[in-house]
Copies of this chain bind each other. A is one copy, B any other.
Amino acid sequence: MDKKHLHNLLSAVRSGSVSVAEAVRRLQHLDYEDLGFAKVDHHRALRQGFPEVIFCPGKTTEQIVSIAERLAQNETTVFATRASAEVFAALQAALPRVEYYELPRAVVINRDHSLPGAGRVLVVSAGTADLAVAEEAALTAELMGSRVERLYDVGVAGVHRLLANQAMLQAANVLVVVAGMEGALASVVGGLVDKPVIAVPTSVGYGASFGGLAALLGMLNSCASGVSVVNIDNGFGGGYTAALINRLAAAKEE
């Protein structure tokens, strides 16, 4: 449900042509659009503060374009993650204001570049190979209204690189720590700050990393408190959670 529909509905409530109970019901549970293969959740922006995001793998290009078209009505920002170049091309052909972010392989439609970021999210990454995931986290948090800073390639094999940037660590409301291999960076950062740390294990590594399992287990068993973990390579989830937390803090700073 976009804002215009919401406005109309509430006006109808005020005028009495729609009862309060009916309006509550429609706003809480019922508003989605049925495309057959998908039920587009227009209500999500109201319910959760951010529109439905299109996770591209497993969907056909046609399905992605259809969903994007519905979501893009009324200039809402649309976010499609793990989009191939082919998907980007198809979206660009179908819609205006489509941007591609190559490193995180993300498409954004109707991005509002004038939005000033609020609060402060810090995305920290262990190695250069973790950048795609880190950038997905950063972009997600930015689209949700967060000011984002980046501190990259500070893996614990050279811990002085991290310690030299303690000021950045201390200044953030929330930190997203992105690391593959053994994922130890989350524990070291978690021990240095008094803010929540969202740890994102990556599949960077080989052999007994088992596709990111080693980093995942390492982060779940972190000896530092205040570290919680999202799925392997889930930069989107890390950025999303961080932005939710940052919103709580950002208001405080104003």
Across-interface contacts of A232 in B (CB, < 8 A): 206-208, 220
Q: Are B218 and A229 in contact (CB under 8 A)?
A: no
Across-interface contacts of A146 in B (CB, < 8 A): none
The contact string, 1 if C-beta is below 8 Å from chain B, for chain A 107-148, is 000000000000000000011111100000000000000000
Q: Are B218 and A212 in contact (CB under 8 A)?
A: no
Instruction: Tell me the minimal C-beta distance from A235 to chain B in angstroms.
Output: 11
Does residue A93 face the partner (Cβ distance < 8 Å to B)? Answer: no
Known: A198-B228, A221-B231, A237-B228. A38 touches B153 (CB 8 A): yes
Does residue A217 face the partner (Cβ distance < 8 Å to B)? Answer: yes
Q: How large is the interface on A (under 10, 10 to 19, 20 to 34, 35 or more residues)?
A: 35 or more
Does residue A213 face the partner (Cβ distance < 8 Å to B)? Answer: yes
Of the candidate stretches A10-18, A28-36, A83-91, the one touching chain B is A28-36
Known: A160-B29, A217-B217, A226-B240. A203 touches B193 (CB 8 A): no
Q: Are A217 and B220 in contact (CB under 8 A)?
A: no
Copies in the complex: 8
Tell me, in angstroms, the Cα distance from A156 to B187 when the chains sit together: 7
Across-interface contacts of A224 in B (CB, < 8 A): 156-157
Does residue A159 face the partner (Cβ distance < 8 Å to B)? Answer: yes
Tell me, in angstroms, the Cα distance from A203 to B207 when the chains sit together: 8
Q: Are B248 and A30 in contact (CB under 8 A)?
A: no
Query: 3 closest pairs, A vs B, by CB?
Result: A58-B129, A207-B232, A184-B184
**Interface positions of A (Cβ within 8 A of B):** 21, 28-32, 36-39, 41, 43-44, 47-50, 52-53, 55, 57-59, 63, 67, 126-131, 152-161, 163-164, 166, 173-174, 181-184, 187-188, 190-196, 198, 201, 203-234, 236-238, 240-241, 244-245, 248-249, 251-252
26 contacts between A and B (CB under 8 A): A28-B160, A32-B158, A37-B131, A43-B160, A47-B158, A52-B158, A57-B206, A67-B128, A157-B224, A158-B191, A182-B183, A182-B187, A182-B222, A182-B223, A183-B184, A195-B244, A196-B241, A203-B207, A207-B234, A208-B232, A209-B221, A215-B221, A220-B229, A221-B231, A225-B240, A245-B248
- With A29-B163, A38-B153, A206-B234 known, 6 other A-B pairs at CB within 8 A are A37-B153, A39-B158, A63-B128, A184-B187, A208-B221, A228-B238
